[in-house]
A and B are shown apart, each in its own frame.
Chain A
Amino acid sequence: MFTYYLELALRSFKRNKALTALMVLAIALGIGASMTTLTVLHVLSGDPLPGKSQTLFVPQLDPQNMENYRAGGEPPDQVTWIDGMNLLRSKRADHQVLMTAGTVAVQPSQSNLDPFYVDARYTTADFFGMFDVPLLFGHGWSAIDDDNKARVAVITRSLNDKLFGGKDSTGQMLQLGDSGLRIVGVLDRWRPNPHFYDLATGSYAESEDVFVPLTTARDLKLGRNGSMDCWGGHTEDHLETAPCTWLQLWVQLDSSDKAATYKQYLKHYSQEQMTLGRFVRPSNVRLRDLMGWLDYQSVVPSDVQLQTWLAFGFLLVCLVNTVGLMLAKFMRRAGELGVRRALGASKRSLFAQLLVESAVIGLGGGIGGLVLAFFGLWEVRQRPSSYATLAHLDMSMLLTTFLLALGASIVAGLLPAWRACQITPALQLKSN
């Protein structure tokens, strides 16, 4: 029966080529636009560490003075050196990492390369294990290296390719300005999206090229950057004691019990600091998990959301358009449908036949939409935005495209098909 309906559908398309083409094109445009924007949205709001993200948390404390105090306000996004170090050393979480961003001048040993600047991350030992960072050669550094301000570094694969021609460079020296650091590890390709652990340096930034122990970087006075928030007479000179939040703190807590316990610990810590006189604001702590953090920081650009809404509005108009055209088309065939009814076809089979016809249009629109989405994403990739290179269609979005196109066109076919089935066969036959 299905093949027969299919044949009928194809016959009907041949009779009304322009109208059919118009319907397919309208669906294709709507689907193409919405799938392009939806894919970008999907990529940008994705989970950077699937399977692990629910165990990673950002502790927030409020060490600020009473200036601008507002009850119930959010604590700062980052922590001070003192709080960061206290929480790091207390080791109350399964893993914890304290870090900041920086820029370092790399002086290649090869004479044919000019010195150049790369982004760096000054962090602590747990970074590599906590964030599932893949290593091509060697390994990260240990907590002892952190304590000893060891002159060690981990570099990325691309920097290793540039400096050492892709060979295992562990044990070699990396010259940063005046200081030499021993390379202990080389990262494999790694680009978590979004750049969740430090959104201030770009929500979709690439990972840094050089990783150095935080204590070492401070000791060598390597240039730091990223966001910093100070209060009560800002003095950037002695950041270790300054009333400034400038470090990102992340903890790994493997169960929800541990998370609850850790939050209690944060409250206690906050109260303890109040008794010591360091904190003056009432205890105000937060412990958001990774996805909650990304949501709180609203990482997805509002323009991308706006574009997605626009595209779906566009799809809606295209669908209304298709419903109108389909209605016209089906009603025009009232005579033919009347004959089929008179010859014994049930309303149900007529309805099925018309739905098959709209589904075929939907399929055509889906294929067209897919082509347009590929083109649209190619266009997005040509743009200079930081997330441009990420815009690719994955399997799940490919499937979504087809389901959306098929579903949309069947929904669009429902009303016209139902209306067409209400035809009284006798009346149609008589008028003919």
Chain B
Amino acid sequence: MTTHPILAALRKHKAGVVLIALQIALTLAIVCNAIFIIGQRIERVHRVTGIDESNLFLVTQQWVGAPDGDDAAGVAKLDNMQREDLAALRNLPDVASVAPINSLPLLNSSWNGAISLKPGSEMRKGGNTRTTFYFGDEQMLSTLGVRLVAGRAFTVADVQHRSMHDQTEPTVVIVTKPIADKLFPGGSAVGKAMYLDGSTVPTTIIGVIERLQVPGTGSWTNTFAYNATLEPLRIDANYSRYVVRAKPGRMEAAMKAMPSLLYKINPMRVLDDDSVKSFADIRAAAYRADVGMAILMGVVCLVLLGVTAAGIVGLTSFWVGQRHRQIGVRRALGARKIDILHYFQIENLMIAGAGALIGVALAVGLNAWLMKHFEMDRIPVVYVLVGLVALVALGQAAVFVPARRASNVSPIEATRAV
């Protein structure tokens, strides 16, 4: 079939053709970018934390009437209270291991700083390696379930304790592989010295763990998402946090037992509804906004495609109705049903194809605009190409019903007056 008669007919419906093409172009531009956003959010949500997330929960509690940790006696008392808690928690039958900790991945509460290979370097200057800090004791690694790839884990002898305000840097630390690779490219980091937060006293790396995400999930952490430094340290403050690994299948029981157990050890403390939190809840809370955005974008895309398909059906149906007589004439002159069907299909292919091509340009333009005003990356070509194919396919699917109705027009129509 030649396309010449189709083009000639289209010229008679310029406005309608332009509108359908425009609608397809806009739909393509919006859907491509929306799906790209959905993809990015899903990718974010599926980032691994590096810890074994099952059977893990966090306990956060605050002391009431405890010393403020300004003097040595206060620090010692706070540390005693914390050790008492730890001992009791470790004795529970449902608990596999427990460690004091300052934060967890995805918790959005973090202590961050920088590492330098030179002593006393200014912390905020460029060239330093940014890192987050996790403080815990000898059971921190096993409780979190992170994988040690070089060196050794902390021992009881490594663990220090100090008040929150004390700025003394530790003598030994464990770092994640991204930090080790950045500081000592090509070599082993174990046994090497470096300086934390512009300190002049060196700290030795004794171990390297494969992966551990920082607590922050905001885009500001993107540059150091897996730069973590683990210090063998109990922080003595007016609150304490314990990360607990329950024995398989016993997490719910262990979580339920927590408040009453802690109150029994020492009633002078405050626990609230958020004090005992499973890691699954921490993860859900961290990514709630991303999941919500992805769902919303998905719904809008579906409805948008539905509206566009309905628009094509509506306009093509109208054209079929308008050309009833001409179709009848063509049929009477020997055109087969399939020819009529193809006529409308090819017509739609031309309109949708042209619209989709314009849509590709619009999609790239919209992406550039989004990159300028929002935190957005460049859209990969594959998204646009898939969008192009999808919209042309949508056009074909939508045109099928009215086109088939057209192909069923009887040749007798030619003889009838309208």
Contact = CB atoms under 8 A, between A and B. Distances in A.
Given A178-B65, A306-B374, A415-B15, A328 B315 contact: yes
Contacts of A415: 15
Contacts of B375: 302
A310 B304 CA distance: 11
Nearest to B319: A328
A61 interface: no
Question: Which secondary structure dominates where chain B touches chain A?
Answer: helix
A111 interface: no
Contact of A314 (B293, B303, B315): B303
B300 A114 contact: no
Given A310-B297, A324-B16, A317 B308 contact: yes
A324 B297 contact: no
Contacts of A325: 311, 314-315
Given A105-B64, A177-B64, A310-B34, A22 B310 contact: yes
A67 B124 contact: yes
Contacts, number: 122
Given A313-B26, A316-B26, A116 B270 contact: yes
Contacts of A383: 288, 292
Contact of A321 (B285, B292, B307): B307
Contacts of A320: 19, 22-23, 26
A97 B7 CA distance: 73
Contact of A318 (B122, B272, B307, B321): B307
Nearest to B299: A33
Given A117-B270, A320-B19, A419-B15, A329 B311 contact: no
Contacts of B373: 305
Contacts of B322: 331-332
A254 interface: no
Interface in B309-354: 310-311, 314-315, 318-319, 321-322
Q: Which of the four size classes fits the interface of chain A?
A: 35 or more
Given A303-B289, A310-B300, A317-B30, A19 B15 contact: no
B310 A26 contact: yes
A267 B70 CA distance: 37
Question: Which secondary structure dominates where chain A touches chain B?
Answer: helix
A421 B370 CA distance: 41
B388 interface: no
Contacts of A68: 122, 124-125
Interface residues of B, number: 51
A221 B66 CA distance: 12
Contact of B300 (A33, A103, A431): A33
B300 A324 contact: no
B112 interface: no
A336 interface: no
Given A178-B65, A237-B165, A306-B370, 13 more contacts: A19-B318, A68-B125, A105-B270, A117-B270, A235-B167, A310-B34, A314-B303, A314-B304, A317-B308, A318-B307, A328-B314, A331-B322, A419-B15
Interface of B: 15-16, 19-20, 22-23, 26-27, 29-30, 34, 37, 62, 64-65, 68, 70, 122, 124-125, 164-165, 167, 238, 270, 272, 285, 288-289, 292-293, 296-297, 300, 303-304, 307-308, 310-311, 314-315, 318-319, 321-322, 370, 373-375, 418
Closest 9 CB pairs of A and B: A328-B318, A324-B19, A321-B311, A320-B23, A313-B30, A317-B26, A237-B165, A325-B314, A105-B64
19 contacts: A33-B300, A105-B62, A105-B270, A117-B62, A117-B272, A234-B167, A235-B167, A236-B164, A303-B289, A306-B370, A307-B296, A313-B26, A314-B304, A317-B308, A324-B23, A327-B15, A331-B322, A332-B322, A385-B288
Interface of A: 18-19, 22, 26, 29, 33, 67-68, 103, 105, 107, 114-117, 177-178, 221, 223, 234-237, 302-303, 305-307, 310-311, 313-314, 316-318, 320-321, 323-325, 327-329, 331-332, 383-385, 415, 419, 431-432
